Amino acid sequence: MLRPTDQSRGSTRIPEQAWTWLAVFAAAAALVFGRELGRWIAGALLLAVAPSLLAPLRSLSVRVLGRWHERIVGALPLLLVVGMVASLLGDLALGRPPASRDHGIHYFQTKVLIEQLIPQGQLVGYSDRLNTGYPLGDSYPMLGYLLTGAANLLSFGLISLRTSYAWGILAVWVVSLWAVWWLAATIARELTGDAASEDKSVLL
C-alpha cells in the first residue's frame, strides 16, 4: 500500500515531500480550472499539507522573530483558518449570495416572508407568488429565513435582501466554524492535560 514516509527508497513507498508537492500542484490546478468548487478543493489540499510546507520555515522564524516566535506559532493555526475563511467566504461578506438551485428556493422563501407575510403580520401562510400558490412554512423551519432576512428587516430595507441573504448564510458558517474550533480546542486541552498528568506520574 502506498503511504507517506521520510524514506526516499522502496518500491511501494513514496516520500512525504512528494505527496506535499503533488497536493500543491493539484491545488493550483483546482484554482485554475475548478472555478468556484476549485477554491474549496484547493483550500482543503493546502490545509492538509500546511504543516509540511511550513516546517522548513521554523528554524528561520526562531532566528528572525526571537522571543515572539512561540506566540506567533501559537496563533498561526487561527490565522490560517481566518485566511482560508476570508478566501472561501469572502463573497458572502461582500453581499454576494451563493448561486445554486437549492439557494434559489431558499432566497425565494426569504423574499416571500420579508416582503409579503411579515407586512401582513404572519410568519407562516399561503403565498400566491409561485404558480397556483405556495404554502410558506410547511417545508422548512422559518427561523432560517428570519436569519437570512434579518439585515434587511432591521435596516428597514436599506440593506438589500440579496445582501441580507448572503450575510445570513455567512452567519451560519461563522457559527459553525466557531463551534468546531471550540470543540477542537476543548479536546486539545483535555489531551494536553492527560499527557501532562502521565508525565508527572512517570516522574513520581
Q: pLDDT tens, 63-103?
A: 666 677 677 777 777 887 888 888 888 899 999 988 777 88
What's the pLDDT score for residue 94? 93
Which of 52-56, 172-176, 200-204 shows the lowest mean pLDDT across its residues?
Answer: 200-204
The yes-or-no verdict on residue 61 having pLDDT over 80 is no
Contact 169, 91 (CB under 8 A): no
Higher pLDDT, 88 or 175: 175
Tell me what pLDDT residue 165 has: 96
- Residue 35 Rama label (left phi>0; alpha psi -120 to 50; beta): left
- Could you tell me the CA-to-CA distances from 86 to 40, 116, 132, 159 in Å, in that order? 12, 34, 42, 21
Q: What letters, b where the CB count within 10 A reaches 16 and e where it falls short, cover 127-140?
A: beeeeeebebbeee
User: Is the distance from CB of 40 to CB of 88 less than 8 angstroms?
Assistant: yes
pLDDT bin (cut points 50, 70, 90) of residue 8 is low
- Average pLDDT estimate for 176-200: 78
Do residues 111 and 161 lie in contact, with contact meaning Cβ atoms separated by under 8 Å? yes
DSSP string, 44-101: HHHHHHHHHHHTTHHHHHHHHHGGGHHHHHHHHHHHHHHHHHHHHHHHHHTT----SH
pLDDT at 106: 87
Q: Which pLDDT does position 33 carry in this prediction?
A: 87
* Dihedral angle, C-alpha 164, 170, 174, 177, nearest 10 °: 160
* pTM summary value: 0.64
Report the pLDDT value the prediction gives residue 1, as an integer from 0 to 100: 43
What average pLDDT is seen over the chain?
A: 80
**Single-letter amino acid, residue 115:** E
Return the minimum-mean-pLDDT range out of 49-53, 73-77, 100-104, 162-166.
73-77
pLDDT at 5 over 60: no
Look at residue 83 in the predicted model and tell me its pLDDT.
83
Residue 146 grid coordinates: 428570519
Whether the predicted pLDDT of 158 surpasses 90: yes
Q: pLDDT tens across 94-148, in order?
A: 999 887 778 888 888 898 889 888 888 888 877 776 666 677 777 778 888 899 9
Residues 96-109: tens digit of each pLDDT: 988 777 888 888 88
